[in-house]
Amino acid sequence: MKLISKPEKISKDHYLLKIQYQGSDPIPGQFVSIKVNEGTDPLLRRPFSIFDYSENELKIVFKVAGKATSILQNSALPENTDISGPYGKGFTPLENSKVLLIGGGVGNAPLHYLSNKLRKTGCNVTYIYGSRSAEYIYCRDDFHKCSDSTYYMTDDGTDGEKGFVSEKLSQLIKKEFFDFAYICGPSPMMKLCADILKAQNINGEVSLENYFGCGIGICSGCTVKTVNGNRRACIDGPVFNINEILL
């Protein structure tokens, strides 16, 4: 796999990357693993969820967070970028169901691809998009297009409503029935949402974004706890059922 274009800025600190990809359709929730340069610093590959896929082209969205993503952001020589994958176990695909998608920050990325797929299989998608503030929200139109109803929640009220995604979740499930929920975002947000869903007996899945050493199951650096014991987030996940994972 290789980069097709230079990173495109899509909101404050967020960039879109296009990657040439030949292979079977990736499953929403799967990730690619990127070594951003040759040499040993930064050393490890970095995991990024698949934001979109069509005709031999994968897209990812990354947020500038540190060493590797800063290099990616300025990558003038895309040929030096080494990309492998897709890896991991993705979200469970549903058909003809009413589903709720909840994303926080850059964690909205995998839900975008998921939402497109779910719409194609006859699902009715309600989307809650959470962000710190309006300037960080990316691809707003795309998210709007790939869901039946969309709610934006910002910490400062600069877009949509002021408040947390979990507050919107609590409101919605009081009024409407949902078959299933999919969540991706910061850990505290996922825990809060999963607890609310479990209390209402709504089933769902989360996609974890913890620290990966290898991304292929050989180092046990990404271990998470589940009701069935330890699991490696990179190959047993990153998607886990909310009733299985101990957040």
Partner 1 sequence: MKKEIKIGKLKLKNPVSLASGTCAYGEELNGIYDLSSLGCIFTKGLSLNPRAGNEGNRIVETDSGILNSIGLENVGLESFIKNKIPYLTENSITYVPNAAGHSIEDNIEICERLSEIDSVRAVELNVSCPNVKAGGMAFGQNVKVLEKFLKQLRPRMSASLIVKLSPNVTDITEFAKCAEACGADAVSAVNTLQGMRIDIKTGKPYFNNTFAGLSGPAIKPVALRLVYQIYQSVKIPVIGLGGIKDTGDAIEFMMAGASAVQIGTMNLVYPETGRIISEGIDSYMKENKIEDINDIIGLTHRLKGEL
Ligand X SMILES: Cc1cc2nc3c(=O)[nH]c(=O)nc-3n(C[C@H](O)[C@H](O)[C@H](O)COP(=O)(O)OP(=O)(O)OC[C@H]3O[C@@H](n4cnc5c(N)ncnc54)[C@H](O)[C@@H]3O)c2cc1C
Ligand Y SMILES: Cc1cc2nc3c(=O)[nH]c(=O)nc-3n(C[C@H](O)[C@H](O)[C@H](O)COP(=O)(O)O)c2cc1C
The one among 42, 78, 163, 217 contacting ligand FES by CB under 6 A:
217
Residue list 202-221, contact with partner 1 (CB under 8 A)? 211-214, 216-221
Q: What angle do CA 171, 92, 216 make, to 5 degrees?
A: 120
Encode burial over 37-62: b for 16+ CB neighbours within 10 A, e otherwise.
beeeebebbbbbbbbbbeeeebbbbb
Q: How far apart are CA 15 and CA 13, in angstroms?
A: 7
**Position 119: which residue type?**
R
Full DSSP string of 37-58: SSSSSS-S-EEEE--EEETTEE
Closest CA to 165 of 178, 179, 150, 177: 150
Of 203 and 210, CB closest to partner 1: 210
| Residue 116, binding choice from partner 1, ligand FES, ligand X, none, Cβ under 5 to 8 Å by partner class | none
Q: Looking at 22, 43, 76, 228, which residue binds partner 1 (CB under 8 A)? A: 43
Of residues 58-87, which lie at the interface with ligand X (CB under 6 A)? 60-63, 65-69
Q: Which residue has the tokens 């180092």?
A: 219
In this structure, is the dihedral angle defined by the CA atoms of residues 218, 224, 229 and 234, taken in order, positive or negative? negative
| Pattern 162-201, ligand FES, x by CB under 6 A | ----------------------------------------
User: Could you say which residues in the range 206-245 bind ligand Y, by CB under 6 A?
Assistant: 219, 221
3-class DSSP state of 68: helix
Tokens coding 134:
């309006």
**Minimal distance, residue 199 CB to partner 1, in Å:** 26
Residues 4-43 that bind ligand X (CB under 6 A): 31, 42
- Minimum CB–partner distance for residue 177 and ligand X (Å): 30
Size of the site for ligand FES (CB under 6 A): 12
Binding site residues, partner 1, CB under 8 A: 35, 40-45, 67, 211-214, 216-223, 229-230, 235
Binding site residues, ligand X, CB under 6 A: 31, 42, 44, 46-49, 60-63, 65-69, 106, 109, 209-212, 238
Binding site residues, ligand Y, CB under 6 A: 219, 221
